[in-house]
A and B are shown apart, each in its own frame.
Chain A
Amino acid sequence: MTDVLLIERARKVYRGMGTVREAVRDVTLTVGEGEVHGLLGPNGAGKTTTLKMLLGLVLPTEGRFEILGQPATPAARAHLGFLPEQPYFPPQLTAGEVLDLYARLSGMDAAGLRARIADVLERVGLQGRESSLLSTFSRGMLQRLGVAQAVLHEPKIVVLDEPASGLDPVGQRDVRNMILDLKEHGVTVLLSSHQLSEIEAVCDQVTILNRGVVAAKGRIDELLNVRGQTSVRARGPEGELPAAIRSIVADVAFSGGEWMFSVPEDRARDTVDALDDAGWDLVSLGPKRESLEDYFASLLADTAEEMAS
């Protein structure tokens, strides 16, 4: 897979009146073509500063930034769309005027622009609002317009900073569907989010930042799968598990007529046989997976301990 985004050894130091603050210490990150890549981290981890350096909004202290194999100059951003966190637009302009402006700034031809604007507004659920002043828009509508301006010029790469921020559950679902739709069309997405469920639902790869450095990166499956453990769901009578497996199970839970537990990977076959012998129905069997929330919390705790020692 070709890398379409490269951030290498990024560092940003803010210097004020007698103060020095290192917002990003050392971040290296690559995003492959057509990939949905999640950028995770607690507040102050350096996510937004890293994105801003890539996008030219913040001047890096050190580091190399590339878009589609080119240095991240304004010209290289022609194929990139960006949705900032809680986007704002000039309130005295209409939705149509704002999109017209961004289309022209992205080098789009005037021909067919009106149709494209109407199309993209419909796609984000703002059909028929071209002539509405943005001062009359709710926060959720502005967020939808933000999504519209990010994909207006049909970019090859879309950078989304907290795209579901301020949206109701329906809006969040729409954003999730839009990301999946972009992926289906081969668009590369770099998604920064606090919403772990959102990251887990759409991302192929994640990079977790903490205190300005990369704390972990990889495929979600690789990060979350608990090595050597298999997760089992089975339907059987409430009370006790079959005797043959009682000594090997862990993390046992019973809910809605179903048992959930984990067993060592090398005892999975024995477990299936034991359930079968006891007349239970096997519902599912697969690698044991931590929730992203648990993984994230334990990772941050480990990093904090390392920093302390």
Chain B
Amino acid sequence: MTRRVLAIARAVAADARRRKIVWVIVLFAAVMAAAIPSLPSYGVGVVEAVYREVALTLTYVAAMVVTLALAANRIPSEAEGRTVYSVLTRTVRRWEYVVGTWLGIALTTGVVVGAFTVIVIGVGWISYSTPMWILAEGTFAIWLEAVVLAAFCVAVSSAAGPVIVATSALAFLFITHSRSSLMTPGTVGYTLYPSLDAFNIIAPVSHGSGVSLGYAVSMLAAFVGWAGVLLAAAVFAFSRRDL
């Protein structure tokens, strides 16, 4: 069971690794990251905070674009192109295919975000003579959110085409980051609102405080909850689909 899931994940990651779009996005964002220190100076102490904020925002955008590029069309193209036939006519269960596909995208996104982490810490170190290890906290949270987005894309794409997946994924990101705008803190609606704000730690990382261990654990719990629900929906939809 695990072997089959990992074999599918490995194939998805190998396939994604050779797609030009992933590397074009990484290269473009790396150039942008290298250009951040050329922004106007805000004074001693503030400039590093601005650098961290811009670097994390850049990483966030790049991670989400890469995730969308990899996840929006993965299952639809495999179903349309019938590549899925050679997988599902073996001893593979449909849930293994769904989870393996998601895991492969998560691994690829992890490599991309990992590369970004190295780049932004490296550029920061060279520019400000300070190793900003705290940036890794922020990029890790970004990766978790990207993997949740991948689960959302896999869920929608189990029953719909890439245009619907991409559109609904953007709507998903917008809605899940609008809690503060739409709800009043302390109300039931605010508490129950489906939000990805738990992964948004750009502000504390930018200001240098980072997050506590307790917060990191709650963030991981939110990740498990989101990914679990979305993957369950993906498996439910894909298991009932005629190919």
Contact = CB atoms under 8 A, between A and B. Distances in A.
Interface of A: 14, 52, 55-59, 74-75, 77-78, 80, 82, 84, 86-90, 92-93, 97-98, 101-102, 104-107, 133, 146, 149, 159
Interface string B8-27: 10110011111100000000
B242 A102 contact: no
A92 B19 contact: yes
B17 to A, nearest CB: 8
Interface stretch (B89-97, B113-121, B161-169, B191-199): B89-97
Contacts of B81: 88
Given A90-B83, A92-B15, A77 B89 contact: yes
Interface string B60-93: 0000000000000000001001110111111111
Contacts of A52: 242-243
Nearest to B239: A59
Contact of A90 (B3, B15, B89, B243): B15
Contacts of A159: 89
B177 interface: no
A89 B83 contact: yes
B237 interface: no
B240 to A, nearest CB: 7
User: Could you say which of B14, B19, B240 has the most chain A C-beta atoms within 10 Å of its C-beta?
Assistant: B14
Interface of B: 3-4, 7-8, 10-11, 14-19, 78, 81-83, 85-93, 240, 242-243
Contacts of A98: 11
A143 to B, nearest CB: 13
A151 B14 CA distance: 24
Nearest to A51: B89
Q: Which 10 A-B pairs have the closest CB atoms?
A: A92-B18, A104-B7, A82-B89, A84-B85, A57-B243, A92-B15, A88-B81, A105-B90, A58-B242, A101-B11
B89 A57 contact: yes
A77 B19 CA distance: 32
A154 B98 CA distance: 27
Contacts of A82: 85-86, 89
B4 A104 contact: yes
